Amino acid sequence: MRLSPAELTALVDVTETSPHRFLGLHGMAGGGCVVRSLFPGAVSCGLRKAQASSSLPMARLHACGVFELELTSSPDFRYSFEVVYADGSVRTVDDPYRFLPTISEADLFLVGKGDDHGCHHKFGSHVRTLDGIAGVSFLVWAPSARRVAVVGDHNLWNGRAHPMRMLGASGIWELFIPGLAAGARYKYEIVGPHDPTPFLKTDPYGLHFEPSPNHAAIVCDLSGFVWHDEAWLEQRRRGDLRRRPMSVYEVHLASWRRVPEEGGRVLNYRELGEQLAEYCTRMGFTHVELMPPSEHPFDGSWGYQVTGFFAPTHRFGSPLDFMTMVDTLHRAGVGVIVDWVPAHFPRDFFALARFDGTHLYEHADPRLGEHQDWGTLIFNYGRHEVRGFLTSSALSWLERFHIDGLRVDAVASMLYLDYSRKAGEWIPNRHGGRENIEAIEFLRHVNSLIHLYQPGVVVIAEESTSFPGVTKAVAEGGLGFDFKWNMGWMHDTLDFFRKDPLYRKYSHDKLTFGMLYHWTEAFMQAFSHDEVVHGKGSLINKMGAGDDASKAANLRCLLALQWTWPGKKTLFMGCEFGQFAEWKYDSSLDWHLLEYPLHAGLQHLVADLNALYVGDAAMAENELQPECFGWLAADDGAQSVVAFERRGRDCAWVVAGNFTPVERTYRLGVPTAGKWEEALNTDSKHYAGQGLGNLGGVLADSIPCQGKPYSIQVRLPGLSLLVFRQSSAAKPAVKSKR
């Protein structure tokens, strides 16, 4: 097989889409074989057969560094090259172009259909051993590219050195480079379909990245990590989170806690694992939710403008350090949920935007492909390879990093084509409607696969509309999420607590309206980071008129209402101790506030609410079913009092909230006779309240009330919420533990 001048020019100019046709070892029609190599900048090259004591000189076909050697022997042998460069340096390297593709024809077929659920095991960079030779395989999808090359420190970022081959008509480019190892930096040099000027792209499937401004991917090998969370994973597989207490602490890793003695240094993953495990255990949270830990270029995006959909951000350490953090939390009994962002991606040219010189991951039409609110790009969910990319991203976090759940960001923006758009700025679907059919099918698909491959993992939707069936099973026509953030309840409840207590009677319906739709979905009551930024004020500063003590009393009521309301719980960091300042992504929480009783009291309350909620675990078994809840007083707006009953398998709570500063004496219906313990009182002095209450409990009278055969007459301090627990099943009141 001789090289024609045109073929040699294609190799030198790197326009050949299949360099393996000419480089490497090839049999010749008349017998024997020919070996060719390409080493830009080399002045000579020799071929050394395995076990040989010396190398055979190769002929130089082109000054760019193309060499050739014809042999009369069989092509079935191993060899390496001895390369001499102009500076006198000599390198011995194995031939990248003698290896078969690292992906099979069957896998190419599945990728093209969008049915390969393990793309993350094939695409990107992977440390492998092929034919006894250690190296790194590279695989990237760029169907419109005229050429793609792997560039990095190993070849001085020279795009001529390691051109990749396109595998048939798949649009997938592949290369195995012997001798590379974990830690190598690399990018893809691409020539698009229209402009001959090459450009650099980072790896869409990269596991690790270097900081700005270079953003190079870094080869990463996770195979040596040893997990110690087998017991945690086993109980996760056996459990049903819909029937378990779930109290989630939402955290932004860079601003949760810093090291002031070291100039405000951020904690690394290992430090975060140890400190979050201790704090969540002490506070009683069952899970920690991490605002997107994925790689992102701009700190101010908080991680929501992702450029590395498979990579923990470099800011706090390596992927192995991230795994250590998760392992530490699991061994402490704390689950880990991460925010996952399949709704959009940033325009940064080094990443996904116009990846191969065309609109590859995004829609070309801005009415479909541009997110007007955030200035980002929208994935083309109708393209098989894009669905496979996003599905693999989700499964990768769960499989590689043992993540226990995904909170899916901005689901509402995915569901509707006219989301935040005016007339004429969007394109109806094929039925003339506003629903994004491709995105809906994608969400159903990925949720089904998550539950198939990772039983026990939870998927949570941040979804703010009335789209039906968000948490209904896919088999029943739903989207397949496990939980949905209850945005309506959050907004209504905050609107109520913003009011001066004098005027709350006119907004009493804000507290009760949510129960009219509460059972339509599996809800999670969440006060998230979105409520304490952009001038909205901190949670404690949202509380109605009054001094700091009154604001703290209101916040204690709000948090106690959240915990006693049916549904799972999510609370953003800092809200548990009433930070007055809005959250800032670039500085630590104001932990010094815990020196003051008002803030320490709030923190004690949240810990005790968790102890009550988790301790009476039977309450969570049916908290997503209507039979767990009953109103006792829903219409007492004149006094701004609400009261309701919570029913568990072997216990009951009676919850009463008084949301004015005026103390009330109130009669509440109860289902049984005997003593009803005052299990929690937000006015306790332990929480920096006034210490008014019911001396630990009250005896039920044989006086029917509110549809119940018995009743208790209780003292409701001003701005307080109290929980009375059935004495026969009661444990010691949580506030008496301290």
Pairing of strands 720-726, 652-658: antiparallel
> Does pLDDT of 736 surpass 50?
no
Q: What would be the CATH architecture of the domain defined by 105-218?
A: Sandwich (2.60)
Element at 397 (helix H, strand E): helix 384-400
The total of other beta-carbon atoms located within 10 Å of residue 692's CB is 15
Looking at 462, 482, 521, 678, which residue is catalytic?
Answer: 462
The rounded distance, in Å, linking the Cα atoms of 693 and 716 is 7
What are the pLDDT digits (tens) for 388-421?
999 999 999 999 999 999 999 999 999 999 999 9
Specify whether the CB–CB gap between 39 and 186 falls below 8 A: no
Is 409 catalytic? The answer is yes
CATH number for domain 5-98, candidates 2.60.40.420, 2.40.170.20, 3.40.50.620, 2.60.40.10: 2.60.40.10
**Cβ neighbourhood burial of 680 (10 Å; 0-12, 13-18, 19+):** buried
| Bridge partner residues of 135 (DSSP) | 128, 178
| Helix intervals (H) in 31-127 | 105-113
- pLDDT for the residue numbered 15: 84
- Joined together, the tokens standing for residue 136 give 């790194």
What integer is the mean pLDDT of 212-233?
96
The rounded distance, in Å, linking the Cα atoms of 676 and 723 is 10
Domains 105-218 and 230-485 share a fold: no
What sign results for the dihedral spanned by CA atoms 452, 454, 455, 461?
negative
- pLDDT for the residue numbered 464: 93
> Does pLDDT of 277 surpass 80?
yes
Q: CA 15 from chain center: how many Å?
A: 39
What integer is the mean pLDDT of 214-240?
95
What are the pLDDT digits (tens) for 325-339?
999 999 999 999 999
Report the mean per-residue pLDDT for the chain.
Answer: 95
| Bridge partner residues of 59 (DSSP) | 68
Looking at 82, 327, 409, 645, which residue is catalytic?
Answer: 409
What integer is the mean pLDDT of 23-29?
90
What are the pLDDT digits (tens) for 429-449?
999 999 999 999 999 999 999
| Bridge partner residues of 338 (DSSP) | 290, 406
What integer is the mean pLDDT of 263-290?
98
> Does pLDDT of 734 surpass 80?
no
What are the pLDDT digits (tens) for 54-79?
899 999 999 999 999 999 887 778 89
| Bridge partner residues of 288 (DSSP) | 249, 336
| Bridge partner residues of 572 (DSSP) | 250
Eight-class DSSP state of 657:
E
The rounded distance, in Å, linking the Cα atoms of 130 and 118 is 20
Alpha-carbon distance values, 68 to 15, 113, 178, 388, 693 (Å): 19, 40, 20, 41, 92
Q: What percent of the chain has pLDDT over 70?
A: 98
- pLDDT for the residue numbered 109: 95
Which homologous superfamily does the CATH classification assign to the domain defined by 549-738? Golgi alpha-mannosidase II (2.60.40.1180)
- pLDDT for the residue numbered 728: 52
What integer is the mean pLDDT of 512-518?
96
Rounded to two decimals, what is the model's pTM? 0.95
What are the pLDDT digits (tens) for 555-605?
999 999 999 999 999 999 999 999 999 999 999 999 999 999 999 999 999
- pLDDT for the residue numbered 729: 45
The rounded distance, in Å, linking the Cα atoms of 180 and 202 is 17
Specify whether the CB–CB gap between 199 and 208 falls below 8 A: no
The rounded distance, in Å, linking the Cα atoms of 644 and 623 is 14
Domains of the chain, residue spans = 5-98, 105-218, 230-485, 549-738
Specify whether the CB–CB gap between 669 and 676 falls below 8 A: no
Specify whether the CB–CB gap between 523 and 246 falls below 8 A: no
Q: What would be the CATH architecture of the domain defined by 230-485?
A: Alpha-Beta Barrel (3.20)
What are the pLDDT digits (tens) for 27-46?
888 888 999 999 999 999 99
Three-class SS of residue 39? coil
Is 636 catalytic? The answer is no
| Helix intervals (H) in 32-116 | 105-113
